[in-house]
Structure 1
């Protein structure tokens, strides 16, 4: 836009380096149609003409609306555009055109927001139309009428024109869900040109919206003829604008060569995409300084991994671990011959549930029994959430913990569980907490109350502060000597119920990442600042105690979580937490393609509804970390990606402009407040888990976590065995159930936390004597009893009872576990034989 003799498309072409390849365009040359192009170019020029509205609704009762339209397409530009305001008119006409450079490989959603201009208060947003630009084909000019309210015949008329930009391409990296685009680096140079200036110092502020840096301040010393440079990283083809707040004096804009008096204490914007930035360009010159810019290629290789497959380190671990597992299975199953590691060794996983110190203690008993049976060496993965992560983090401080007698480290855990926690509030510890939090803030982490909670956990479990980190656990798996630990939490959004927005985030010693997006960063880089997949600012890795505070954040529950976990209907409350959105039609109807999204109309709720929504969805505390997805964009066909669809379950999955790629921070909470399970990482199809040992330590209903996750898998098409239990079983649970059905689903051995035969037997087939009966009375059914989730300290007697109960329940069901393992081995052999027969038949 502006007064240039060239059209916006011409200015873009003139300013881009493809001209060096010998391609030329005549002024006002018509672009080729889509049929003329052998391949659809990646970059296109989109012209959006806001024509007008008919039968516009009133914003208030006093007058017609003073209406304007805001346009926002974050994949093309981070800056909103808007039309002029038409006052007091029911049928406003604008006829204003706006231009966007779009990358057709990404999902471009144009948001058109109808606003009412207010003088005394903030402007009202009446409605928003979300339109998928993929509906428009290159070479087409389409005029559409959006039906906003068919009853009142309220319509918005918009014209679209999409043109290819010939010869201009962009290198992108994608996994079919997320797209990393080319990044440019803009250097802004400020030079002092007049050493006789009466000023001793000049202060400048530069802003490039949508860049990683966003805003930078520069100061120069006028007496020494100094120069300073600010640098910005941004998407190369995003129509960047440089906003400058400069000293006040007589100046002229370099690229317009027009001298004029300006008050430069207010921001001045310079459009950069119209300039040839391959060489240094002066954009502003004052009496004693000049500002020039130059663009260079930005970051090249990604510092995160886009892909749904397992990372190379985990694949190497599995290869090594299968040797250990093969030998262990031969021993425990008394096999006559060795298992072939690649094809006959099943993948076994142990998963746990939350439950405070109860789950921490119970897990100790379960692992001790699995070690005694020789089954622990058959396990390749171990997953935890909430307080079971405390046990895991403690164990993995020893690189060979599963190869040593567990009674040693479990004795240490017992010492910490049974001692008073009052020492955690001593003056010395308070000073230590303050020192650690100050250091953490100085390193660049964003503090939250969960960081203090993590330090408290560390104090509970260690005699002195622990410096262990998640990446340190690589030493415990580098030879395949222990199961690979995996930790789980949820990423959430403000003002959304967990029912409406949640994203699984898994942590391993190698990587941290999102199951839904297939995006992972190295564990040592989690918490650092990223942009478009590139590491921009390295922040020291967090001590694992801070992650424990995140994984077991007992302060993150909101009202809706509580209603959901009680098993009562949340429909009444849930409707107050949702916005008003519905699909609308546009005329004429455009041909539909599978990956195109329907046009959506969103109407903001009133003040009362928003207040109630905040009350219902407000979380007291969330853990806040820098968003390593920042800047990444969604692929145009992301909703067709099978891996994404497996995990998509939020109301925003079809609203890419509102997903987390735009956010600065992740907001992480305890998984237990949605489903008390750590199963998602081990049902990823890439891990090919054959047997799951489901160790349940939840309070209250022992079947609710299993029921919820079974329903979740059924809804999302995730292979999982049917877990139907009879009413009698639900009322009188046994110690172990084995579920098995289709070959695609893993075998599930489910251990509810019950005190069944343990009341009469102190060991399998060893009855209790009259004086030992009291040791068999363990009240785990009452969630407010001696094993309440809120209790942080147990008596030594209660600790021993719970430890022995879980130890016994595993030992007493040895045969069921071995049968599940034997079935898995037979399955693998049959699968291998079928594959061999099929190969022979084909040959």
Structure 2
């Protein structure tokens, strides 16, 4: 009906599957995706979108929206509320410390826990304690596009590189798992301990703030990340020692708890431990050929470290994507994501339109590029945020201003 109202006629059994991709780019990507969705709504096109898939900063926008079961209908209001929240400083250090003290008791505590409580909570100005599985209702009514969040396996990315399909790990409100393997487990059981394909021990529930830290863990350089960790730990220790708001005995206990958390965080920094969780495929009899069967623990990180847009997830054959509308919010090469995707598809025998036929000037990009192939592959529309239409010839200057003003990711 949405397409019909736009003058695009198709019968009910031949409705195209339309996907919207949001790239990484920190807070800039989060704000840009929100603005993009608002404009899609104003153009009466949003209701035609089947899947909404994000990486890094775009996942922050998505996870905030799906807390509202009818977000696509309430988008203008949510936009105002989000702008209001971002302009108010509501990060509470005591809440962050309490969360970290509790998280550090877990054997799989990692820098992702620290990142979520200290950086993501500060940037988004809210600590969402709901779970991803709580977004099922918002995904089942048919009112909103279906959400897909991207991560990658840290060890496999290091070993196999960006063109290995088994690197990619996806999250939805219903299931999480390895896209290329077709191996999934209920989202409610993410982090639980499995063996031989059977649940052994339920894991501690992971709140949305933690997931936002996992999906968006690639901001800045390693040096900047380490400096942020050092400064935050020093602040926590100072606050716990010199706080005069509590009784002495309580303060002493707090100092001890914070000290243990600090020590554990330092250990994680020394080993660069991120996104550590139980592997649900451990000794699974149905996947004997998989490298994961002998791996008890995996580490998941920001998918932007592989490809800064989640093409590998939406190109999953069963999703039957006909049209991919990709919004690229990167501050670097505006064509890097689609170039990397083309290489990924070529090396893995995945149908994807040829991109070499079009001239792509990264110093002066146009506002939209359309890549088409035969019927075996989807049509791709690629929209660089920084282009010669909305930047009026000052693309490089605009990039620099935005990069300095907003947290960025690769």
- Cα contact 2:55–2:149 (8 A) shared by 1: yes
Question: Higher relative CO (CA 8 A, sep ≥ 6), structure 1 or 2?
Answer: 2
Query: Which residue in 2 is equivalent to 1:507?
Result: 171
> Where do residues 815-826 of structure 1 align in structure 2 (5 Å cutoff)?
none
> Where do residues 346-385 of structure 1 align in structure 2 (5 Å cutoff)?
346-385=16-55
Q: CA deviation at 1:478?
A: 1.8
Q: CA deviation at 1:665?
A: 1.2
> Where do residues 230-309 of structure 1 align in structure 2 (5 Å cutoff)?
none
| d(CA) in 2 for partners of 1:455, 1:791 | 19
Q: CA deviation at 1:543?
A: 0.4
Q: CA deviation at 1:539?
A: 2.1
| d(CA) in 1 for partners of 2:405, 2:298 | 27
- Cα contact 1:445–1:539 (8 A) shared by 2: no
CA RMSD of aligned residues (A): 2.8
Per-residue CA deviations over 1:440-467 (Å, capped at 9, x if unaligned) read 455x56211211211232343245x322
| d(CA) in 1 for partners of 2:96, 2:362 | 45
| d(CA) in 2 for partners of 1:509, 1:347 | 19
| d(CA) in 2 for partners of 1:531, 1:784 | 48
Q: CA deviation at 1:376?
A: 0.4
Per-residue CA deviations over 1:696-734 (Å, capped at 9, x if unaligned) read 111111011110111111111111111225446444321
Query: Which residue in 2 is equivalent to 1:548?
Result: 212
| d(CA) in 2 for partners of 1:540, 1:447 | 11
Per-residue CA deviations over 1:78-131 (Å, capped at 9, x if unaligned) read xxxxxxxxxxxxxxxxxxxxxxxxxxxxxxxxxxxxxxxxxxxxxxxxxxxxxx
Matched, 1:703 2:335: yes
2:63 alignment partner, one of 385, 393, 416: 393
- Cα contact 2:86–2:125 (8 A) shared by 1: no
- Cα contact 2:388–2:395 (8 A) shared by 1: no
Query: Which residue in 2 is equivalent to 1:788?
Result: 403
CA radius of gyration, larger in = 1
- Cα contact 2:103–2:113 (8 A) shared by 1: no
Query: Which residue in 1 is equivalent to 2:121?
Result: 458
| d(CA) in 2 for partners of 1:526, 1:432 | 24
- Cα contact 2:365–2:387 (8 A) shared by 1: no
- Cα contact 2:26–2:219 (8 A) shared by 1: no
- Cα contact 1:445–1:625 (8 A) shared by 2: no
Return closer, same or farther for 1:545/1:485 CA change in 2, 3 Å cut-off: same
Q: CA deviation at 1:349?
A: 0.5
- Cα contact 1:700–1:782 (8 A) shared by 2: no
Q: CA deviation at 1:558?
A: 7.1
- Cα contact 1:498–1:674 (8 A) shared by 2: no
Structure with the higher fraction of residues in helix conformation: 2
Query: Which residue in 2 is equivalent to 1:733?
Result: 365
3-state secondary structure, aligned to 1:786: helix
- Cα contact 2:88–2:125 (8 A) shared by 1: no
| d(CA) in 2 for partners of 1:790, 1:452 | 24
- Cα contact 1:780–1:787 (8 A) shared by 2: no
- Cα contact 1:753–1:780 (8 A) shared by 2: no
Return closer, same or farther for 1:432/1:734 CA change in 2, 3 Å cut-off: same
Matched, 1:408 2:77: yes
- Cα contact 2:151–2:302 (8 A) shared by 1: yes
- Cα contact 2:157–2:306 (8 A) shared by 1: no
Query: Which residue in 2 is equivalent to 1:4?
Result: none
Q: CA deviation at 1:438?
A: 3.4
Pairs aligned (count): 359
| d(CA) in 1 for partners of 2:214, 2:149 | 11
Query: Which residue in 2 is equivalent to 1:232?
Result: none
The two structures have a TM-score, normalised by structure 2, of 0.80
1:665 alignment partner, one of 283, 294, 297: 297
Return closer, same or farther for 1:672/1:477 CA change in 2, 3 Å cut-off: same
Q: Which runs of 4+ in 1 moved over 6 A?
A: 555-559
- Cα contact 1:690–1:745 (8 A) shared by 2: yes
Structure with the higher fraction of residues in strand conformation: 1
| d(CA) in 2 for partners of 1:393, 1:624 | 21
Query: Which residue in 2 is equivalent to 1:222?
Result: none
- Cα contact 1:690–1:747 (8 A) shared by 2: yes
- Cα contact 1:488–1:506 (8 A) shared by 2: yes
Query: Which residue in 2 is equivalent to 1:431?
Result: 94
| d(CA) in 1 for partners of 2:40, 2:157 | 43
- Cα contact 2:386–2:395 (8 A) shared by 1: yes
Return closer, same or farther for 1:734/1:440 CA change in 2, 3 Å cut-off: same
Query: Which residue in 2 is equivalent to 1:631?
Result: 283
* Structure 2 segments unaligned to the other structure (5+ residues): 224-269
Per-residue CA deviations over 1:487-531 (Å, capped at 9, x if unaligned) read 011112289446287611000000001023221110011011111
| d(CA) in 2 for partners of 1:633, 1:783 | 53
Q: CA deviation at 1:663?
A: 2.0
Query: Which residue in 2 is equivalent to 1:328?
Result: 2
3-state secondary structure, aligned to 1:383: strand
Per-residue CA deviations over 1:532-578 (Å, capped at 9, x if unaligned) read 1111111232101101111111269779xxxxxxxxxxxxxxxxxxx
Per-residue CA deviations over 1:347-381 (Å, capped at 9, x if unaligned) read 10001111111111111111111001111000010
Query: Which residue in 2 is equivalent to 1:525?
Result: 189
| d(CA) in 2 for partners of 1:706, 1:448 | 32
| d(CA) in 1 for partners of 2:16, 2:377 | 13
| d(CA) in 1 for partners of 2:188, 2:100 | 19
| d(CA) in 2 for partners of 1:694, 1:715 | 21
| d(CA) in 1 for partners of 2:219, 2:4 | 46
- Cα contact 1:556–1:620 (8 A) shared by 2: no
